[in-house]
Structure 1
Amino acid sequence: MASFKIEGGHKLQGTITPQGAKNEVLQILCAVLLTPEKVIINNVPDIIDVNKLIFILGELGVKVNKLSSNSYSFQADEINLGYLESSDFKRDGSSLRGSIMIVGPLLARFGKGYIPKPGGDKIGRRRLDTHFEGFINLGAKFRYNKEDNFYGVEAEELFGTDMLLDEASVTGTANILMSAVLATGTTTIYNAACEPYIQQLCKMLNSMGANITGVGSNLLTINGVKELKGCEHTVLPDMIEIGSWIGVAVMTRSELTIKNVSWENLGQIPDVFRKLGIQFEKRGDDIYIPEQDSYEIQNYIDGSVLTVADAPWPGFTPDLLSIVLVIATQAKGTVLIHQKMFESRLFFVDKLIDMGAKVILCDPHRATVIGHNFQSQLKATKMTSPDIRAGISLLIAALSAKGTSIINNIEQIDRGYENIEARLKSIGAKIERID
């Protein structure tokens, strides 16, 4: 098991280009199963979760060809459905949360889709009901093997229907969307997630010959078609990584430029960082962050303490709350962080408290942060990364801390961030990977 050794307290400087969006590409990769024709995907991040899904596709019989460092072609013209019932698939599929999204395309094109209980971050309950209720509404029969934690859906034909999702699940919306594009008739999905990643999936499917309207809203209408064609698709830059690099710049009091961020797809992210008092500029499609010695959290107009909370898009993404919490430890002022969606995601704050941060964990969902205003530097420590976003947050804290920190279980960080230590070194960070 590898670890990071970080010598903190150094100022950084330079330019960073964000990787492709992890949460988009996991959907896009599953969509290649909908057609026997070749699909080319560009800006694919080289991270553990994505590489695991590409491996699963290869085991399913998809022809995978790496065209360049971040571009691939996929052709699903000879699918091995027997793999779905193998012990290998039960092992491979259970290691990755995103594997759930192969079920919709397989059901749509081949009439059956199976999946073991998916793995992923240990951040609280992440139920699958929305996915399978959607498949059942389209006419599929559901079965579940409790002993093996193995789910399955089967249908000779899917039929369009009207459905109201019980929650605006991003992966649930993607899965149901991919199963509906080849269904007979018209499907409407109300309370659909409308994140840029879902919009990207819709644009890709439409370029393949699907008929989806309402893209960008929470009401999607899908007129089923008989078949889909190949296409070429480019993945958006990762908004979570962009927010992470803002956190790196702010906490190390560094000057940094983040290139090609796709400003129109950042939603509330810039506004939330501005409410924390952070100064940055829009330069074309780049973000320029100047060196800043202090940043003051804004209160509400009635003087009450600011709350930063997550919500379905266009609300603030839950994946950046850990970053906001770390940034707030050196702000001037106080903020309440309210993590509504996952009950275990704030438990990493005990590591920050060990480093000298003033954080009060009110309950599993809320933490109050009283900022140091850089009057008291965080202290280095040894810690373990519990999940992807907490891991990068602890890494940011270590970069700002006085002394040398060790972060164990960095595979969690590698699941979501491409070649992170080399990219940090390129802007002056003192970090090394050790066994």
Structure 2
Amino acid sequence: MSELHIQTSRGLSGRITPQGNKNEALPIVAACLLNPGVTRLDNLPEILDVRAMLQIVQGLGARVERSADGHSAVIQADTLDGSQPDPVLCAQIRASLLLAAPLLARRSQAGRGSVILPRPGGDRIGRRRIDTHLAVFETLGATVDTSPRDVRLSLDGPFRGAHLFLDEASVMATENAVMAAAMAEGDSVIENAACEPHVQQLCRLLVQMGSNIQGIGTNRLCITGTGGVPTPRELSHRVLEDLIEVGSFIALAAATGSELSIPGVTPANYWMVAKAFERLGVRFTLEGNTLHVPANQELEVQSDRFGEVPRIHDAPWPGFPADLSSIAVVLACCANGSVLIHEWMFESRLYWVDSLIGMGARITQCDPHRVLVNGGAPLFGTRLSSPDIRAGMALLIAALRAEGTTVIQNIRQIDRGYERIDERLAALGARIKRVAE
């Protein structure tokens, strides 16, 4: 086990390239099981969650070859010989749920149409139901049986096309629905689908496999399936940049008065981040595919009309990403003025703000979903523990701004989503080091 030792680090400068998108890489790796041929993936993030997902598919019989830097992988899934993913690895990541559709499709075609999925792990940020996933499979022809420890799915023949209405615009439920419908016999319509960029990227890979998908990027997807697992193909896919990491770097630069250039971004994906961060006085510019954050911005909360306290809240795409809510909280602590942060999706995601309060932040927890931040108070170093991926990164940003030394334990949580974060920030001038406990 290691911990991060962080000293006050302001005025960082330089160029930092974002990693590949974690939330895209995980479903893409799962989808590779639908291609009995060879799929090459590029720009994978070298993070713990992706490593775990690759180990899981390898344990199911797929052959995986990774590049030395971990950013590319070749997956050959001509033979799958497992019906139950490794429960220890599944307990580490919630994305193990995404194996349900491809694994069930493959086993059904081979005449062994049953799968046992252990309960998934991941961040403990509140109740994360899987009912929407299971309803998708039942509507598309599968039988579902649940127990406290696992989910058992069975399917006779290919999935059968159907009209689906998701009771929540869940990203992972949409991804499972899209993968199942893409392999189904007949046409499917998915209403209230999530439409995040990583969902769009998954759709594009499935189109390469032979499915016809209309409405990519909208909340209504019309899919003509392949009628079963497609013929083997040689495919390639490049993962987009991680927009949550880019948002984290924007906040880090603003909080520490730093000047950063972030190349390789997709400009169309940042307008809502810009609108939310502008309310805290943060500005950045886009020149081509490079995002630039200027140094020494004066952070000031922009009040609503008539002086009312403004609100920043997450929402399904194209709204402000839920994964940036924790980052917005720490940024609000650095801005003069008051702002309400409303995380409506997960009821336990904001409990970590006690750690910020311990550093000197003025925060009132209104209820499980809302905190009122009275920004501008100085922060002071202390000893902390990272509760989840995004809160861990938020605490790291606070530590860089704080006076004195901060120690962050349980940094495995940060490593699950941010690649070599200590090395990359140290290259910009941050005083940060990884120390064995």
Task: Determine the C-alpha separation between the residues in 1 that align with 2:360 and 2:395.
Answer: 13
- For 1:114, give the aligned amino acid: I
- For 1:189, give the aligned amino acid: I
Match of 1:308 in 2: 312
Task: Determine the C-alpha separation between the residues in 2 that align with 1:38 and 1:308.
Answer: 44
Pairing of 1:362-377 with structure 2 (within 5 A):
362-372=366-376, 376-377=377-378
Task: Determine the C-alpha separation between the residues in 2 that align with 1:259 and 1:134.
Answer: 38
Task: Determine the C-alpha separation between the residues in 1 that align with 2:183 and 2:384.
Answer: 48
Match of 2:125 in 1: 123
2:307 counterpart SS class:
coil
Match of 2:66 in 1: 66
Match of 1:195 in 2: 196
Paired-residue identity, %? 45
| More off after superposition, 297-306 vs 39-48 | 297-306
- For 1:232, give the aligned amino acid: S
Instruction: Report deviation, 1:95.
Output: 2.0
Match of 2:92 in 1: 95
- For 1:224, give the aligned amino acid: G
- For 2:46, give the aligned amino acid: D
Match of 1:385 in 2: 386
Instruction: Report deviation, 1:41.
Output: 0.6
2:334 counterpart SS class:
coil
1:245 counterpart SS class:
helix
Task: Determine the C-alpha separation between the residues in 2 that align with 1:20 and 1:293.
Answer: 28
Match of 2:225 in 1: 224
Instruction: Report deviation, 1:315.
Output: 1.1
Pairing of 1:182-261 with structure 2 (within 5 A):
182-226=183-227, 227=230, 229-261=233-265
Q: Given the superposition, is the C-alpha separation of residues 364 and 91 from structure 1 closer, same or farther in structure 2, using an over 3 Å criterion?
A: same
- For 1:269, give the aligned amino acid: V
Contact 1:9/1:403, CA 8 A, preserved across alignment = no
Pairing of 1:349-428 with structure 2 (within 5 A):
349-372=353-376, 376-428=377-429
- For 2:208, give the aligned amino acid: S
1:110 aligns with 2:114: no
Q: Given the superposition, is the C-alpha separation of residues 312 and 189 from structure 1 closer, same or farther in structure 2, using an over 3 Å criterion?
A: same
Pairing of 1:26-175 with structure 2 (within 5 A):
26-67=26-67, 69=69, 70-82=71-83, 84=84, 89-111=86-108, 112-146=114-148, 149-157=149-157, 158-175=159-176
- For 2:427, give the aligned amino acid: S
Instruction: Report deviation, 1:33.
Output: 0.6
Superimposed CA distance per residue, residues 119-178 of structure 1 (whole angstroms, 9 cap, x where no aligned partner)? 1101001011111100000110111233xx110111112210101100000000001111
Q: Given the superposition, is the C-alpha separation of residues 293 and 377 from structure 1 closer, same or farther in structure 2, using an over 3 Å criterion?
A: farther
Q: Give the length in aligned residue pairs.
A: 426
C-alpha RMSD over aligned residues: 1.3
Task: Determine the C-alpha separation between the residues in 2 that align with 1:358 and 1:129.
Answer: 38
Instruction: Report deviation, 1:248.
Output: 1.2
| More off after superposition, 209-218 vs 109-118 | 109-118
Q: Given the superposition, is the C-alpha separation of residues 267 and 215 from structure 1 closer, same or farther in structure 2, using an over 3 Å criterion?
A: farther
Task: Determine the C-alpha separation between the residues in 1 that align with 2:258 and 2:372.
Answer: 26
4+ runs of 1 displaced by more than 3 Å? none
Instruction: Report deviation, 1:345.
Output: 0.8
2:372 counterpart SS class:
strand
Task: Determine the C-alpha separation between the residues in 1 that align with 2:355 and 2:67.
Answer: 42
Contact 1:109/1:182, CA 8 A, preserved across alignment = no
Contact 2:9/2:429, CA 8 A, preserved across alignment = no
1:336 counterpart SS class:
strand
- For 1:91, give the aligned amino acid: V
Task: Determine the C-alpha separation between the residues in 2 that align with 1:305 and 1:328.
Answer: 12
1:81 counterpart SS class:
coil
Task: Determine the C-alpha separation between the residues in 2 that align with 1:240 and 1:275.
Answer: 18
1:160 counterpart SS class:
coil
Pairing of 1:289-308 with structure 2 (within 5 A):
289-308=293-312
Task: Determine the C-alpha separation between the residues in 2 that align with 1:96 and 1:379.
Answer: 33
Contact 2:59/2:82, CA 8 A, preserved across alignment = no
Task: Determine the C-alpha separation between the residues in 2 that align with 1:402 and 1:255.
Answer: 20
Consecutive unaligned residues in structure 2, runs of 5 or more: 109-113
Task: Determine the C-alpha separation between the residues in 2 that align with 1:194 and 1:230.
Answer: 27
Contact 2:281/2:297, CA 8 A, preserved across alignment = no
Instruction: Report deviation, 1:377.
Output: 2.7
1:264 aligns with 2:268: yes
1:335 counterpart SS class:
strand
Task: Determine the C-alpha separation between the residues in 2 that align with 1:233 and 1:293.
Answer: 38
Contact 1:6/1:431, CA 8 A, preserved across alignment = yes
Contact 1:208/1:230, CA 8 A, preserved across alignment = no
Instruction: Report deviation, 1:267.
Output: 4.4
Contact 2:40/2:75, CA 8 A, preserved across alignment = yes
Instruction: Report deviation, 1:11.
Output: 2.1
Instruction: Report deviation, 1:409.
Output: 0.2
- For 1:29, give the aligned amino acid: V
1:332 aligns with 2:342: no
Task: Determine the C-alpha separation between the residues in 2 that align with 1:54 and 1:243.
Answer: 26
Q: Given the superposition, is the C-alpha separation of residues 68 and 265 from structure 1 closer, same or farther in structure 2, using an over 3 Å criterion?
A: farther
Scaled by the length of structure 2, what TM-score is found? 0.95
Contact 2:274/2:283, CA 8 A, preserved across alignment = no
Match of 2:111 in 1: none
- For 1:49, give the aligned amino acid: D
Task: Determine the C-alpha separation between the residues in 1 that align with 2:403 and 2:364.
Answer: 22
Task: Determine the C-alpha separation between the residues in 2 that align with 1:152 and 1:267.
Answer: 41
- For 1:143, give the aligned amino acid: D
Instruction: Report deviation, 1:380.
Output: 0.4
1:106 counterpart SS class:
helix
- For 2:150, give the aligned amino acid: F
Consecutive unaligned residues in structure 1, runs of 5 or more: none
| More off after superposition, 195-204 vs 294-303 | 294-303
- For 1:130, give the aligned amino acid: T
Scaled by the length of structure 1, what TM-score is found? 0.96
Instruction: Report deviation, 1:68.
Output: 5.0
Instruction: Report deviation, 1:63.
Output: 0.7
Residue of 315, 323, 328 corresponding to 2:327: 323
Instruction: Report deviation, 1:281.
Output: 1.4
